[in-house]
C-alpha cells in the first residue's frame, strides 16, 4: 500500500483528502500544523507528497526545492491560489522546483487518483 503524506494547513481539506485516499486503497498521513519541514517529510517516509503552496510560516515551493536536494520523492502540488494567470506562473515556477504534478482548485476526484498513480 502506497503511503501518501498530505502537507496542507487546512484541517478540513486534510481530513477529506485522507478519507478519499484511504477509501481508494492508500495509506494517508498528514503533518501536524507548524511541522512543515523537509526533515518532517523525510521522517514520515512517504511514497508521495501532496503539498500545499500556501503554508503558514513557509512556502511550499521552498519545501519542494529543498526536498529535491536530498531525494526524488514525487510531489503533487495542491493549491486553491487565485487567478488562472497567477496559477500558470506558479505552475511554471513549481515545475522548475521539482514538482511532479500541479492541481489547481484541488478537490478529490478520479483525476486525483490518476495523478497519484502516474507520480
pLDDT per position as a tens digit, 64-99: 888 888 988 888 877 665 544 455 556 556 556 555
Among the residue ranges 17-31, 54-68, 98-112, the one predicted with the least confidence is 98-112
Apex 86 CA angle, 54 and 104, nearest 5: 60
Q: What pTM was computed for the model? A: 0.77
Q: Domains of the chain (ranges plus CATH)?
A: 3-118 (3.40.50.2300)
The closest alpha carbon to 112, from 10, 1, 38, 18, belongs to 18
Burial label, 72 (beta-carbon count in 10 A; 0-12, 13-18, 19+): exposed
Q: Read off φ and ψ for residue 47, nearest 5 degrees.
A: -90, -20
Amino acid at each position: 500500500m502506497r503511503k501518501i503524506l498530505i502537507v496542507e494547513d487546512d484541517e478540513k481539506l486534510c481530513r477529506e483528502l485522507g478519507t478519499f485516499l484511504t477509501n481508494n486503497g492508500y495509506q494517508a498521513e498528514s503533518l501536524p500544523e507548524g511541522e512543515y519541514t523537509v526533515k518532517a517529510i523525510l521522517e514520515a517516509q512517504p511514497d508521495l507528497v501532496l503539498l500545499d503552496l500556501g503554508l503558514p510560516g513557509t512556502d511550499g515551493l521552498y519545501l519542494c526545492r529543498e526536498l529535491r536536494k536530498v531525494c526524488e520523492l514525487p510531489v503533487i502540488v495542491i493549491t486553491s491560489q487565485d487567478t488562472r494567470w497567477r496559477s500558470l506562473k506558479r505552475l511554471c515556477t513549481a515545475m522548475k522546483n521539482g514538482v511532479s504534478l500541479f492541481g489547481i482548485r484541488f478537490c478529490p476526484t478520479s483525476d486525483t487518483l490518476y495523478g497519484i498513480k502516474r507520480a
